[in-house]
Chain A
Amino acid sequence: MTRLKADQRHSVRFSLNGKSVEGEAEPRMLLSDFLRHQLGATGTHVGCEHGVCGACTIVVDGMLTRSCLTLAAQVDGCDLKTVEGLAPSADRLGVLQQAFRRNHALQCGFCTAGILMSLDHYLASNRAPTEAEIRDLLSGHICRCTGYTPIIQAALEAAAELASSKKETSDA
């Protein structure tokens, strides 16, 4: 493993939502800060900086990751997915995002990005989750506005919709 010099900036390259990006970071720079302030990907938010609130959650190489507990230098060469990569296009929302809007599953929207990332990641491999499973998954996220139930409802609706659209596709 390369030893980085503490007082120097180092080049960091990775794939962000399918596009290659590059920037410079001191070894101590957090991934969340790098995404937001170096790359301008401000959709990922920072709420507690100690891994409890879940707002900064992103996907790194297929793994849910707290970007506030990850150094930018650690993800050099990795494949990252953030909230900016969820919508199919700039003027359309994905199935999960639409379910959130329909169910009023967000108010201030600050914690939402992390919750969406956890759900997007989970629903990709869990077609028919139960409410208890969704509640367990999301227990690592704090939302102060909604009281959670609309989020759970949105997740279950999105799961059902995704499952039926998958079914239609496979039937066709």
Chain B
Amino acid sequence: MLQAVKSANPGSGDEPWVGRSIERVEDAALLSGRGRFIDDLGVQPGTLHATILGSPHAHADILSIDVEAAKRLPGVAAVLTGSDVKAVTTSLVVGVKAPVECWPIAMDRVRYVGEPVALVVATDRARAEDAAELISVEYRPRGAVVDPLGTLAPGAPVLHDGFPGNLASDRYFRYGDPEKAFAEAPHRFSIDIRYPRNSCTPIETYGVVASHDAGEDAYEVLANFQGPFSIHTVIARALKVPGNRLRLRTPPDSGGSFGVKQGVFPYIVLIAAAARVTGRPVKWIEDRLEHLTASVSATNRATTLAAAVAADGKILALDWDQVEDCGAHLRAPEPATLYRMHGNLTGAYDIRHVKIRNRVVVTNKTPTGLNRGFGGPQVYFALERLVQRIAIGLGLDPLDVIKRNLIDAGAFPYRTATGALLDSGNYQEAVALAVEQGRLAELKAKRDEARAQGRLYGIGFTAVVEPSVSNMGYITTVLTAAERRKAGPKNGAQATATVGLDPVGSVTVHVASVPQGQGHRTVLSQVVADVFGLQPGDIRVNTEIDTAKDAWSIASGNYASRFAAAVAGTAKLAAERVAGRLARIAASQLNVEAADIVFAKGFVASRHNPENRIAFSRVAALSHWSPGSLPDDAGQTIRETVFWTPPELTPPDDEDRINSSLCHGFIFDFCGVEIDPTTLETRIDRYVTMHDCGTILHPGMVNGQIRGGFAQALGAALFEEYAYAEDGSFLTGTLADYLLPTTTEVPEPEIFHMETPSPFTPLGAKGVGEGNCMSTPVCIANAVADALGVADITLPLVPARLAELVRGAEPPPPDGGAIATPAREGDRRLRGEGAASVKGAPEQVWAMLLDPATLQSVIPGCQSVDKITDTHFRADVTLGIGPVSGRYRADVELFDLDPPRAVTLRGGATGALGFGNAEGRITLAPDGNSGTKLTYSYDAAIGGKVASIGGRLLDGATRVIIGQFFTALARKAGGGGAEGSSFSLFAVLAKVASLFGGRR
């Protein structure tokens, strides 16, 4: 084997390119509107466009789907429902052993709001959306469950028969002797955590363009998928083709992902199926409502964590009980979020005894998937909150408890109790540097001063190990050792890089890293330029992937912070392999030993006699033009592909120890926060973050990753939650409901670095992109807990939640008049009652209530009222809302008629904007003054899209409108005449819906 030459050029005085913050090669195009994102690329003429009809219900049986009217609309090529998709695909594989299916579209039952129910394919998107509104789906709602512990309760609605009691997996682990440690420890501390659902929400949504070649039964897909390409196997299997008949490509640019675009894969299956059914290419670009409602999210988790603790704060053992909520389906690679951190459940601490119970549950929420931090935020929130509680409980300084437990600097590589091999670090030094450079003493003085003035000021600390480069085998820890033996071994993480030299000697690099904005092309040009003694501008890097032509493997893609540690290092290895051969060729031409060859300033030269040299491009081109003149042992230098997988990534052993990741960076954060005593708004005063991510390849990009992760973590700490009502309605379907941090909320973190190279990676680099998503939420929570002096803190730290902590629950509004009673806790049904005096006699009012002609004339946009029976009415209502109109079908029945004294009305309305149902009881009594006293009570529920896009206003507005309606009814009836209004449940529902507009 040829020996690789040194990449740097010692003695020349030239600094290597790696380690410099050079300008990015990506930026010129992106800054001038010439980016090539998926929706910027042209498509084949005749390409069709898809839209998806999502479920308005969190849990319901589909009784029927009528697509005839949609199909008749001009321009519509096809409408696919579950059975159509089932005819050409098979279920997605599920990551645990259980008899459940997982389809990308609902078959006969919906299990979360937004779950695809039908797919419309038409000549353009607007026509597809027009047609989707004509699809009529009849649902029979089931009880929904959204809470991870509630879903385990006896009697909870069951989502999948194959997951009895909604439990998809239940595993116990034991490392060391935790029982003994707990029995003997002087102290035991415990904490209960509810970590919320959130998502890093890239600004570019999902996009897929798919086509199918019926002759070869082969699919071509372009999607802004980000990997891991293990998912390629899942997609191919679902499409019922071998991997070589699924050509998956990515566009040159992708508008952010942060893990989220892994979740496009069920939609790849759907759109590919539509391409097969229609025989035409089909394109789908997700819209924001679809994205927030039904793309993917991080898991929410209920955790109980207990620690056995010595008197000095030393943690002797941990007892984890984690209940992971993966939403309605266990989609690949879940339950990976739960197991990604398995080797790191002891964090940065030396804790030898650990007990774990891991449960995975399903609930009526959107299925989960990759999200920056991936399991880290959930774990560290529990662990680092507990560390603070231990300190408070023992009367110690939280920082002292952290320091007491840190892994010793001399212990690396350090094997954790649960199996991770921590590669390198010096945590004590990192903490000391941060304390000094970040001026902790000054911050403490500031806190003292603020508190002396009666202000709410707190300081929080976090120490975190940031894993990167995932072991492809860690997910198999969810299986028992016996199940793993049966399934065959899974381990490693193949990275690939190709370096090519063309006939004029210019250098091209290709990797399967699928960047989503991180600047991989720039860093790779630096790495390879150093090896060849060239300028970064001489190296052209391509990071698009085409599974039909490129080198790739299941670990390919952009996740688990693997680029710097694995991919960039592999590119270095590939370049060195080519350089080794070039050195042999040059040596023969320059009549020197290969060991004497150096690459510098565009030349290949003798180290001892730099004048004896040859242009790089000449040597590089030789394999093309004159292979006969190469030395026999040199081999070709045209193209070299290196596959690299670290030997440290072994499969789980029989005791369930797993080295879940290759590299482990270290982060130590502290921050000062001040809370406004009136508004309870949290302001970050100062945030200090110390990182040791090994060798830094590009300081500007490393800091960019830290700042970006910090901003997203700040959002997770203070604002963001994918909120669901108890009935499973999704309440945060717009960016006005799902609040993201903006320029006015994000301060600049004070970033410090230490570099302890990883001995396990070619460049010494470790991942850095996810760390603050793990450390920052809990650091801020610890500071807020410190400021408020409270023990339990739940994210996000919105002022309303802090107000409850500080001041107790908000008192109910004062009684009076016809004010609706507040909704009961955990119940989205709205109840209210009221009374009004009407001038006409009860008989007159009664007649109006039962007259369809009156109804038709007064309901806004009413097309028709059909009187099915004397007491059963059906109406079609079209509501124009701005430029958008939506069709509703309303159904009302009258019960318990007691003319002219009382009647009960019960009914519902469904349409593109959602659904509602209500029941009202009206009583009419003579008021003794030739008029009528009308009293009413109602009970209404509204869900679907209106709940998602207007949830923040919906409940209050509904109450107001219902109240207004009855008041108006009384007034109109009092005026008498045929023009008078009348009681109509669908008018009420339609009015509510009209408040919230639709979108296209």
- A residues at B contact (CB < 8 Å): 26-29, 36, 41-50, 52-53, 55, 71, 82-84, 86-87, 90, 93, 97, 100-102, 104, 106-113, 116, 134-136, 138-152
Q: Are A100 and B1000 in contact (CB under 8 A)?
A: no
Q: State in angstroms the CA–CA spacing of A142 and B740 once bound together.
A: 7
Q: Are B204 and A45 in contact (CB under 8 A)?
A: yes
CB within 8 Å of A: which B8-61 residues: 21, 23-24, 26-28, 30-35, 37, 39-40
Whether A106 contacts B743 in the complex (CB less than 8 A), given A55-B203, A142-B203, comes out as no
Chain A contact residues: helix, strand, loop or mixed:
loop
Among B516, B711, B748, the residue within 8 A (CB) of A108 is B516
Q: State in angstroms the CA–CA spacing of A45 and B735 once bound together.
A: 16
Q: Are A139 and B743 in contact (CB under 8 A)?
A: yes
Residues in chain A near residue B34, CB distance under 8 A: 43, 84
Q: State in angstroms the CA–CA spacing of A81 and B7 once bound together.
A: 47
Residues in chain B near residue A134, CB distance under 8 A: 743
Minimum CB–CB distance from B299 to chain A (whole Å) comes to 20
Residues in chain B near residue A140, CB distance under 8 A: 742
Check if B704 is an interface residue, CB within 8 A of chain A: yes
Q: State in angstroms the CA–CA spacing of A150 and B31 once bound together.
A: 14
Q: State in angstroms the CA–CA spacing of A48 and B736 once bound together.
A: 10
Q: Are A147 and B707 in contact (CB under 8 A)?
A: yes
Q: Are B26 and A147 in contact (CB under 8 A)?
A: no
Minimum CB–CB distance from A141 to chain B (whole Å) comes to 7
Q: Are A144 and B743 in contact (CB under 8 A)?
A: no
Check if B734 is an interface residue, CB within 8 A of chain A: yes
Check if B826 is an interface residue, CB within 8 A of chain A: no
Q: Are B711 and A148 in contact (CB under 8 A)?
A: yes
Residues in chain B near residue A86, CB distance under 8 A: 31-33
Minimum CB–CB distance from A36 to chain B (whole Å) comes to 7
Q: Are B288 and A110 in contact (CB under 8 A)?
A: no
Minimum CB–CB distance from A55 to chain B (whole Å) comes to 6
Name the residue on A nearest B37 (C-beta): A110
Minimum CB–CB distance from B669 to chain A (whole Å) comes to 15
Q: Are A139 and B742 in contact (CB under 8 A)?
A: yes
For B706-727 the 0/1 string (1 means CB < 8 A from A) is: 0111111000000000000000
Residues in chain A near residue B704, CB distance under 8 A: 104, 107, 145-147, 150
Name the residue on A nearest B699 (C-beta): A104
Residues in chain B near residue A100, CB distance under 8 A: 27, 31
Q: Can you name 23 A-B residue pairings with CB atoms under 8 Å?
A: A28-B1000, A53-B288, A83-B32, A86-B33, A87-B31, A101-B27, A102-B23, A104-B21, A104-B700, A107-B518, A108-B202, A109-B255, A109-B517, A110-B203, A110-B253, A111-B203, A111-B255, A139-B742, A139-B743, A142-B742, A144-B201, A144-B711, A147-B707
Q: State in angstroms the CA–CA spacing of A49 and B256 once bound together.
A: 17
Residues in chain A near residue B743, CB distance under 8 A: 134-136, 138-139, 141, 148, 151-152
Most buried by A among B288, B734, B736: B288
Name the residue on B nearest A28 (C-beta): B883
Q: Are A149 and B748 in contact (CB under 8 A)?
A: yes
Number of B positions contacting A (CB below 8 A): 56
Whether A47 contacts B204 in the complex (CB less than 8 A), given A108-B255, A110-B37, comes out as yes
Check if B519 is an interface residue, CB within 8 A of chain A: yes
Among B27, B287, B742, the residue within 8 A (CB) of A106 is B27
Among A135, A144, A146, A150, the residue within 8 A (CB) of B258 is A144
Q: Are A50 and B288 in contact (CB under 8 A)?
A: yes
Q: Are B33 and A138 in contact (CB under 8 A)?
A: no
Residues in chain B near residue A106, CB distance under 8 A: 27, 30-31, 517
Q: State in angstroms the CA–CA spacing of A106 and B522 once bound together.
A: 14
Q: Are B519 and A107 in contact (CB under 8 A)?
A: yes
Q: Are A144 and B735 in contact (CB under 8 A)?
A: no
Minimum CB–CB distance from B134 to chain A (whole Å) comes to 16
Q: State in angstroms the CA–CA spacing of A87 and B736 once bound together.
A: 33
Whether A42 contacts B40 in the complex (CB less than 8 A), given A28-B1000, A50-B736, A147-B710, comes out as yes
Residues in chain B near residue A47, CB distance under 8 A: 203-205, 255, 288
Check if B250 is an interface residue, CB within 8 A of chain A: no
Q: Are A145 and B256 in contact (CB under 8 A)?
A: yes
Residues in chain A near residue B712, CB distance under 8 A: 144
Q: State in angstroms the CA–CA spacing of A151 and B746 once bound together.
A: 12
Q: Are B708 and A147 in contact (CB under 8 A)?
A: yes
Check if B504 is an interface residue, CB within 8 A of chain A: no
Check if B660 is an interface residue, CB within 8 A of chain A: no
Q: Are A147 and B746 in contact (CB under 8 A)?
A: yes
For B193-212 the 0/1 string (1 means CB < 8 A from A) is: 00000001111110000000
Minimum CB–CB distance from B804 to chain A (whole Å) comes to 27
Whether A50 contacts B735 in the complex (CB less than 8 A), given A84-B32, A101-B31, A147-B746, comes out as yes
For the complex with contacts A107-B704, A108-B30, A145-B704, 16 further pairs of A-B residues with Cβ separation under 8 Å are A26-B126, A28-B1000, A47-B204, A47-B255, A50-B999, A53-B735, A71-B883, A83-B31, A86-B31, A104-B24, A108-B253, A108-B256, A109-B27, A134-B743, A136-B743, A151-B743
Check if B591 is an interface residue, CB within 8 A of chain A: no
Name the residue on A nearest B734 (C-beta): A50
Q: Are B708 and A107 in contact (CB under 8 A)?
A: yes
Q: Are A144 and B734 in contact (CB under 8 A)?
A: no
Minimum CB–CB distance from A120 to chain B (whole Å) comes to 11
Residues in chain A near residue B27, CB distance under 8 A: 100-101, 106, 109
Residues in chain A near residue B735, CB distance under 8 A: 48, 50, 52-53, 142
Check if B701 is an interface residue, CB within 8 A of chain A: yes
Name the residue on A nearest B204 (C-beta): A110
Q: Are A116 and B31 in contact (CB under 8 A)?
A: yes
For B880-914 the 0/1 string (1 means CB < 8 A from A) is: 00010000000000000000000000000000000
Whether A52 contacts B736 in the complex (CB less than 8 A), given A104-B21, A109-B517, comes out as yes
Q: State in angstroms the CA–CA spacing of A83 and B201 once bound together.
A: 24
Residues in chain A near residue B203, CB distance under 8 A: 45, 47-48, 53, 55, 108, 110-111, 142-144
Residues in chain A near residue B258, CB distance under 8 A: 144
Q: State in angstroms the CA–CA spacing of A55 and B39 once bound together.
A: 14
Check if B254 is an interface residue, CB within 8 A of chain A: yes
Check if B744 is an interface residue, CB within 8 A of chain A: yes
Whether A144 contacts B28 in the complex (CB less than 8 A), given A26-B126, A45-B204, comes out as no
Q: State in angstroms the CA–CA spacing of A116 and B205 once bound together.
A: 21
Q: State in angstroms the CA–CA spacing of A162 and B21 once bound together.
A: 24
Minimum CB–CB distance from B690 to chain A (whole Å) comes to 17
Among B26, B287, B711, B999, the residue within 8 A (CB) of A109 is B26
Residues in chain A near residue B204, CB distance under 8 A: 45, 47, 108, 110
Residues in chain B near residue A26, CB distance under 8 A: 126
Minimum CB–CB distance from A42 to chain B (whole Å) comes to 4
Residues in chain A near residue B287, CB distance under 8 A: 49
Residues in chain B near residue A48, CB distance under 8 A: 203, 288, 734-735
Q: Are B28 and A109 in contact (CB under 8 A)?
A: no
Residues in chain B near residue A44, CB distance under 8 A: 33
Q: State in angstroms the CA–CA spacing of A136 and B40 once bound together.
A: 30
Residues in chain A near residue B288, CB distance under 8 A: 47-50, 53
For B238-275 the 0/1 string (1 means CB < 8 A from A) is: 00000000000000011110100000000000000000
Whether A42 contacts B707 in the complex (CB less than 8 A), given A26-B126, A28-B883, comes out as no
Q: Are A83 and B734 in contact (CB under 8 A)?
A: no
Whether A146 contacts B708 in the complex (CB less than 8 A), given A106-B27, A107-B517, A110-B256, comes out as yes
By Cβ-Cβ distance, the 4 closest A-B pairs, closest first, are A43-B33, A108-B517, A109-B30, A110-B255
Q: Are A82 and B33 in contact (CB under 8 A)?
A: yes
Most buried by B among A97, A136, A144, A152: A144
Name the residue on A nearest B884 (C-beta): A28
Q: Are A150 and B33 in contact (CB under 8 A)?
A: no
Minimum CB–CB distance from A113 to chain B (whole Å) comes to 6
Name the residue on A nearest B737 (C-beta): A52
Minimum CB–CB distance from B776 to chain A (whole Å) comes to 11
Residues in chain A near residue B205, CB distance under 8 A: 47
CB within 8 Å of A: which B930-961 residues: none
Q: State in angstroms the CA–CA spacing of A101 and B25 once bound together.
A: 9
Most buried by A among B32, B287, B288: B32
Name the residue on B nearest A85 (C-beta): B33
